[in-house]
Amino acid sequence: MQTLARARRRASLVAGFAAITLSAGSMGLSGGAAAATPPPGLQEVMLVGNNWDGTADVIRSTGDFAKIGRINLVPDKTKRLTEIYLNPVRLAFFLGIRLTVGEGHDQFVDDMYTTPDGSAIVVSRPSFADVASIDTATGKLRWRFRVSGYRADHMAVSPDGNRVAVSASTGNTVHVLDIRTGKEVGSFKTGDKPHENVFSADGSRLWNMSIGEVNNDLDAPALDALKGDRKITVVDTTTFGTVKIIDMRQRLDAFGQTGKSDSVRPVAFTPDESTLYFQVSFFNGFFEYDVAADKITRMKTLPENPATDDDRTTFVNDSRHHGMSMNPSGTKLCIAGTMDEYATVVDRATLQEGPLVPAAKPYWATVSGDGNACVISESAADQVTAIDFATGQKITSVPVGDHPQRIRIAQLPIGWSGPAS
């Protein structure tokens, strides 16, 4: 029944989507930077986390994005479930995740990165409230770290690849771990429901965006204060002391957008880190924020799909649009229009969107290894789709597992096609 309902909704949205005027916009040449050369013995790949499957598909990071292999990221599933079902409190949260953010499914894979030597994939597993390291040669569990609270969420890896930060969404904490050992090297408190994490290019700062409560139906603008404490927390990665707190409510109000949510979702920095682009709950568009001036400078509203229900309570986890990335030269943004079921490339200078590429509940946007394409996860179609930054046109789609979400560039041994049986 769930599959049939999804198919019916997809058909309705596609029909409505046809009514949108597709604007090609002013799309100059993409200046994608060349991909960094992997260390000897390793190949650059993309990891696609299949949240409801508990697996990751490995695909090529450029070209045809062909599938290379698959790995199970919950090899200890039976043991974890046994522990949960024997603990009434943990069981209540486990079932709560299934019924709310999981849309009726358990969440086994949220985010993932490889270790510098490609010997393990480190994955955050929401329903298990942990971060786990899975050996890429054997598929076995290496180590496991329980986060504070009852759910693990988005991660980020440091520029040198040695540390991984994970949001403990019900613990209002970010843990920073040694990616090889799983030992905690630091942590810090955040606003309610920490979500996105981003390291600065030099690794000295870590930005966390807390999104507040997204699992209730208190979505009317008049009830916004009931969504919790939402803010950006910037910390020093040596001391984990707070460097700055940014409350976007104040900045949005100053910009004249008192009705917009201050729940910051995915973000993208310019290459020089002077400008931050960010999405917020319920909004089909994004904002531009000048970091030094500490103010919002522009807002972009993207097209609505006529078939999308404007009832905020129907948006998945309050996300109208969820997913954005920027090409290496900083000239183009790629936006995942989640509930409006499209993705589009936006010229950063003019904020003119390109063609609206139909997509089934796109949930993330990542840059290809060569910087020339944006790769989105189509969570309702179980595939990933590559879009050319230069033209805004679709390149190809690749089937993956159940409910793909996060996509990350990674490195695995040359010739890897999956763990040994």
**Cα 62–125–278 angle (5° rounding)?**
60
Domains belonging to the chain, first-starting first, are 2-413 (2.130.10.10)
pLDDT value of position 31: 30
Residue-by-residue DSSP string for 64-126: T--EEEEEES-TTHHHHHHHHHT-HHHHHHHHHHHHTTTTTS----SEEEE-TTSSEEEEEEG
Q: What is the pLDDT of residue 217?
A: 79
Global pTM value: 0.91
378 phi and psi, to 5 degrees?
-100, 90
CB atoms within 10 A of CB 150: 22
Amino acid at 346: V
In order, the DSSP letters of 151-181 are -EEEEEE-TTSSEEEEEETTTTEEEEEETTT
Q: How many helices (H) and strands (E) does the chain have?
A: 4, 28
End-to-end CA distance of the chain: 34
Residues comprising the chain, all counted: 421
Question: What pLDDT, on a 0 to 100 scale, did the predictor assign at position 6?
Answer: 43
d(CA 338, CA 364): 9
Q: What is the pLDDT of residue 4?
A: 39
CA nearest 190: which of 166, 205, 174, 213?
174
Q: Amino acid identity of 151?
A: R
In angstroms, rounded to a whole number, what is the distance separating the alpha carbons of residues 143 and 75? 12
Per-residue pLDDT at 333:
98
pLDDT at 384: 98
| pLDDT confidence of residue 327 | 98
Angle at 165 between CA 162 and CA 171, to 5 degrees: 150
The span from the CA of 382 to the CA of 48, in Å, is 10
pLDDT tens, position by position, for the chain (421 residues)?
A: 334 344 444 444 434 444 443 333 323 322 333 456 888 999 999 999 999 999 999 999 999 999 999 999 999 999 999 999 999 999 999 999 999 889 999 999 999 999 999 999 999 999 999 999 999 999 999 999 999 999 999 999 999 999 999 999 999 999 999 999 999 999 999 999 999 999 999 999 999 999 998 887 777 887 888 889 999 999 999 999 999 999 999 999 999 999 999 999 999 999 999 999 999 999 999 999 999 999 999 999 999 999 999 988 889 888 999 999 999 999 999 999 999 999 999 999 999 999 999 999 999 999 999 999 999 999 999 999 999 999 999 999 999 999 999 999 999 999 999 998 6
The structure tokens listed for 190 are 């955040």
Distance of CA 187 to the CA centre of its chain: 21
